[in-house]
A and B are shown apart, each in its own frame.
Chain A
Amino acid sequence: MKHVIIYTISTLLMCAAPAWMYAQTPTDAIMMNKGDICFGLIYDHGEWDQYWQGKQLLKNGNVGTLTRTTVLPMFAYGIIDNVNLLIGVPYVKTKSDGGQLTGDDGMQDLSIALKVELMEKQLWKGKLYLLPVAEFSTPVSNYLSDYQPYSLGLHTDHLSLRGILQYKLDMGLYLRGSIAHLWRTETKIERDYYYNNGSYYTEWMDVPNAWNYQATAGIWLFNDALKIEGNYTWLRSTSGDDIRAWNPGQPTNKVEVNEVGGSIQYRIPQLPGLGIYAHYSTIVEGRNMGKFTNIGGGLTYQFKLF
């Protein structure tokens, strides 16, 4: 199982009108062995020219097309064969070509994830895997969450617990499902009164917790050098308000996302340890969210420390 670990960026949830979060979610079932190290650099370009105000899809000439660029340096390490550590901290830049509001840019949240392979079991003509993942993230700069749709993120501490179940046939085909719950702390804003279905007299905003589900089908080809997969991702806030008419979003919004995506990953046989990666995703249904399309790619390099 000496495969390169990749943060599947198709599930980076980059919202918009309520541009909110960037959850780098280690959602795949790949494990590295003890002592393996992987460095990666991933680039992503997301944009939308329509957003959902509540469930109503709108264009806003004062935003035009919003673009969100992410550069994610990442690091993964096999602590032991069954336990991997993943660390990433993205740089994000936002801007739009309409209206007169300025974009933002800076380092966003440091994310640390621990992935454990609890089970690997032979079943019929393949193997069944069960992997829990715990992920914690915390902001590393003082970007403002209450600056929609240009804010870099939600500026909260964030904990997610994910369960991944994968069945992989020996011939390379696999199916995977994952369920995660995301807990977020409140976010500090720069005003002490706001409206969230009523008055709030505080500098803190409640950021809704959320459920995230993902279904994936993929295949390993050419002696496990090439991986191709497609996925469908859902995000559901467990509470929150809708963006009010022709008003900016805010971190309290109830966000829903249905997204389709896919990725390709290739390990270059002639250059051991080096991998290239590309992804595409598009949001097909949403609520209080920009109708993002994301495209990106990156390089990974893996080697054995000991």
Chain B
Amino acid sequence: MKNILLVFLSVLLLGCISSCEMELLTRVDYTDYEFSDLDEDGGTWSTTLISTPGSIVVAAPTDVTSAAYVSELAALKIAASRLNSEQIETIEYWTNNPILRWNEIALELAAKYNLIPAPNPDGTYTLPSSTDPGRYPNFPFAHPAYTCRMLAYLSVAQFDGLIVAWHYKYAYNRANPQQVDNTVPSAYGVSNLPSYPSDGAVIAITSQNILSAMFPLEKGYLADKAAEHLFSLKWAGLNVDSDINAGSLIGTEIAKLALARASTDGMSKAQTPKPVSDSIKAAAFDRFGWQWDNQETPVRPVGLTPLFGKVKTWNLPDVTLTRPPVPPAPGSAEFEVAAKELQDIQDNMTTEQRRIANWWSDGLGSYTPPGHWNKFAKDFIIKYQINPLRAARTFAYMNMAIMDAGISCWDAKYYYHYPRPIQTIPGFKTILGTPNFPSYTSGHSTFSAAAAEVLAYIFPAEAAICRNWALEAAESRIYGGIHYRFDSEVGIDQGIAVAQYTLQKAQADGAD
């Protein structure tokens, strides 16, 4: 009996050990780091939303010997010297490259709002409404088209805002607090970056304003985040109040310009009423003799954003420039090869194919494929210790290319209106859910190829790995059973073609 009790107790012990929770990361794991370069000439780089940095007027700062500055610095010294543990945690959270945190916040909101509207009890569907965002289904539905646009506006505004900040930093050359008084604590080490205007404040206010417009139900949460971020700039000994006020001014102005563009870019018309959607479908049927139909129960009467292909692009002059050739007709020999491949894969799914399909699925409830590429960009920015300005540049060009790729892809999707495999292959079942829009070309492939091209340009040492990821993302949709091989392969070509327009702009912006 003693032995039995011993066994019993050891089983219990084993259980207690195995139930010890492993730590599950809830944010990107990085700390502040020393920047590889400060890009002193950053104020001369090309902007996107404003013509010249000087068009946002930032007054000259008071001299560091002035009474006003001396009193600000004294207050800063007190704030940065008496930190409680919560303030220290806040400083460690925001780091000296807070653009990564704001990108992470944007991705989390995308995942939170990427929920497809449920049917009503009578089988109809109600769409989210920007004028009544709190009514179910909440606004927005942060699907890939919505999310890529959100990230593009966020990143472009951050980048332009930081170019303006750099312009004035090096125009006015206000010494930073530690250079004025070396007894002022600095949480992130001593930097030579001029402190006026505060780049952190530009990032905080720009991000708060853009994301509040994109996620109106999160205004309160975002205001708290921005306020905490601004406080952390002082707790970290980075900026006095006048630095922060000047940075906030830039953030406010640049966000207005970005949101003015967003309000007229055509997105509000992208989700069409049913008659418009039907006429788009009929036009494709007349042209090609096929049409995509939603296969859900109850049927969704309109696909996702049929007119996203008409939304204003960033660098692609005209979507028809990258419109792909006509896909093989359903029933053609070429089509049958592709359909048979899908059936074979679903019938003999390997562990590796399943893993790849799921790894890249980035479906409903996730941060979407554009979000996935933003995560990769963050990892590279940390790996290469990029400063906030160059980090913003990475996000801006990548997200412009991704959004242009999405617009080009959606143009093809609704121009060709090609049916999905579950529509054309009788009895076909898949391991991934089929999205509510036409098949040709694959959004994952187009988004990913465009993102990979920009990352390959910015991080040449990572070019091969980025391009391989894009190819794997494209392949994953075939394994998932939701795209034909030609959707994916043509999507890759299309994404690469779209990215060239953004790369041309990047290569000429003065940063290389």
1/0 per position for A148-167, CB-CB distance to B under 8 A?
00000000010101000000
User: Which of A9-17, A96-104, A261-269 sits within the interface?
Assistant: A96-104
Q: In the bound complex, how far is the Cα of B26 from the Cα of A206, in angstroms?
A: 12
Chain B residues lying within 8 Å of A244, measured Cβ to Cβ, are 115, 365
**Chain B nearest Cβ from A211, distance in angstroms:** 14
Q: Could you tell me if B108 and A199 are in contact, using CB atoms closer than 8 angstroms?
A: yes
A201 near B27 (CB under 8 angstroms)?
A: yes
The answer, yes or no, to whether B171 is at the interface (CB within 8 Å) is no
Q: How large is the interface on B (under 10, 10 to 19, 20 to 34, 35 or more residues)?
A: 35 or more
Q: Which of A83, A102, A198 is the one whose CB lies under 8 Å from B430?
A: A102
Point out the residues of chain B lying under 8 angstroms from A159, CB to CB. 11, 14-15, 18-19
Q: Is the CB of B112 within 8 A of A195?
A: yes
Does any Cβ of B come within 8 Å of A177's Cβ?
no
Contact of B358 among A142, A144, A245 (CB under 8 A): A144
A186 touches B358 (CB 8 A): no
Within the assembled complex, what's the spacing in Å between the Cα atoms of A260 and B59?
A: 75
**Complex contacts, A62 vs chain B, CB 8 Å:** 296-297
B60 interface contact, C-beta 8 A:
no
Contact present for B8 and A136 (CB under 8 Å): no
Measured in the bound complex, the distance between the Cα atoms of B372 and A205 in whole Å is: 18
A146 to B481, CA, bound (A): 18
CB of A202 within 8 Å of the partner chain:
yes
Q: Are B111 and A246 in contact (CB under 8 A)?
A: no
Query: What separation, in Å, do the CA atoms of A99 and B11 have in the docked complex?
Result: 43
Is A134 within 8 A of B12, CB to CB?
Answer: yes
Q: A100-B434, A102-B429 are in contact. Are A202 and B24 (CB under 8 A)?
A: yes
Interface size on A, residues (CB 8 A): 49
A144 touches B354 (CB 8 A): yes
> Contacts A190-B355, A209-B19 hold; do A246 and B26 have CB atoms under 8 A apart?
no
Answer whether residue A114 sits at the interface, using C-beta atoms and an 8 A cutoff. yes
- Tell me which residues from 99 to 149 in chain B have a Cβ below 8 Å from any Cβ of chain A: 104, 107-108, 111-112, 115-119, 136-137
Does B333 make an interface contact (CB < 8 A)? no
Asked if B29 contacts A206 (CB within 8 A), the reply is no
A61/B298 in contact, CB under 8 A: yes
CA–CA, A61 and B119, complex, Å: 10
Query: Which of these, B12, B18, B431, B434, contacts A161 with CB under 8 Å?
Result: B12
Contact of A201 among B28, B119, B297, B364 (CB under 8 A): B28
Contacts of A174 on B, CB cut-off 8 Å?
none
Contact of A199 among B16, B107, B351, B428 (CB under 8 A): B107
Least Cβ distance of A81 to chain B in Å?
Answer: 11
B315 CB within 8 Å of chain A: no
CB distance from B6 to the nearest CB of A (A): 12
B212 to chain A, nearest CB (A): 19
Q: Which of B346-382 contact A (CB under 8 A)?
A: 346, 351, 354-355, 358-359, 361-362, 364-367, 371-372, 375
A78 at the interface (CB under 8 A from B): no
Is there an interface contact between B296 and A201, defined as CB atoms closer than 8 Å? Answer: no
Digitize A196-212: 1 where CB-to-B-CB distance is under 8 Å, 0 elsewhere: 00111110111001000
**CB-CB contacts below 8 Å: A202-224 with B:** 202, 204-206, 209
Contacts of A83 in B (CB 8 A): 4
Q: Roughly how many angstroms separate A82 CA and B4 CA in the complex, as a whole number?
A: 10
Q: Say whether B11 contacts A195, CB under 8 Å.
A: no
Q: A262 CB to closest chain B CB, in angstroms? A: 31
A185 within 8 A of B: yes
Q: How far is the CB of A46 from chain B (nearest CB, A)?
A: 20
Contact of B25 among A98, A157, A200, A245 (CB under 8 A): A200
A residues within 8 A CB of B16?
183
A116 CB within 8 Å of chain B: yes
Among B24, B26, B365, point to the contact of A247 (Cβ < 8 A): B365
Do the beta carbons of B115 and A246 come within 8 Å of each other? yes
A132 at interface by CB-CB < 8 Å: yes
**Given the complex, which residues of B lie within 8 Å of A116, measured CB to CB?**
4, 8
A191 in the interface (beta carbon within 8 A): yes
A87 to chain B, nearest CB (A): 14
Is B507 an interface residue, CB under 8 A from the partner?
Answer: no
Q: In whole angstroms, what is the CA distance A106 to B482 when docked? A: 24
Residues of A within 8 A of B116 (CB): 246-247
B347 → A minimal CB distance (Å): 10
Expressed in whole angstroms, the minimum distance between the Cβ of B377 and any Cβ of chain A is 14
Minimum Cβ distance to chain A for residue B224 (Å): 15
Per the bound structure, the CA–CA distance linking A8 and B496 in Å amounts to 59
Partner of A183, one of B15, B22, B117, B366: B15
Q: B67 at the A/B interface (Cβ < 8 Å)?
A: no
Chain A residue nearest to B136 (CB atoms) is A245
Q: Encode B397-430 as 1/0 by CB contact (under 8 A) with A.
A: 0000000000000000000000000100000111
Chain A residues whose CB sits within 8 angstroms of the CB of B74 once the complex forms = none
- Of the candidates A82, A101, A195, the one whose C-beta lies within 8 Å of that of B433 is A101
Determine whether the beta carbon of A132 is less than 8 Å from that of B8. yes
User: Are A186's CB and B297's CB within 8 A?
Assistant: no
Q: How far is the CA of A132 from the CA of B15 in the complex (A)?
A: 15
**Which A residues are CB-close (under 8 A) to B107?**
199
Q: Which single residue of chain B is at the shortest CB-CB distance from A209? A: B19
Residues in chain A near residue B137, CB distance under 8 A: 245
A136 to B298, CA, bound (A): 43
A161 touching B117, Cβ below 8 Å: no
A147 proximal to B (CB < 8 A): yes
Which residue of chain B has the shortest Cβ distance to A205 in the bound complex? B24
Name the residue on B nearest A113 (C-beta): B11
Inter-chain CA distance A114–B10, complex, in Å, is: 12
Q: Which residues of A lie under 8 Å from residue B117 when comparing CB positions?
A: 246
Output the least CB separation between A11 and chain B (Å). 19
Contacting residue for A136 out of B4, B15, B359, CB 8 A: B15
Q: Does B1 contact A (CB under 8 A)?
A: yes
Residue B286 interfacial (CB < 8 Å): no
Is A194 on the interface with B (CB-CB < 8 A)?
yes
**Minimum C-beta distance from A246 to chain B (A):** 4
CA distance A190 to B12 in the complex (A): 30
B15 touches A101 (CB 8 A): no
With contacts A98-B297, A144-B358, A146-B358 taken as known, whether A201 is within 8 angstroms of B115 at the C-beta atoms is no
With contacts A116-B4, A247-B365 taken as known, whether A101 is within 8 angstroms of B296 at the C-beta atoms is no
Closest 5 CB pairs of A and B: A61-B297, A159-B15, A190-B358, A246-B118, A102-B429
Q: Can you report 9 residue pairs joining A to B where beta carbons are below 8 Å apart? A: A116-B8, A136-B14, A183-B16, A194-B365, A194-B366, A199-B26, A199-B107, A247-B364, A248-B365
Known contacts A100-B434, A102-B429, A246-B116, then 14 further A-B pairs from the complex at CB < 8 Å, ordered by chain A residue: A61-B119, A64-B297, A103-B429, A136-B14, A157-B18, A161-B12, A194-B365, A195-B111, A195-B112, A200-B25, A204-B22, A204-B24, A206-B21, A247-B364
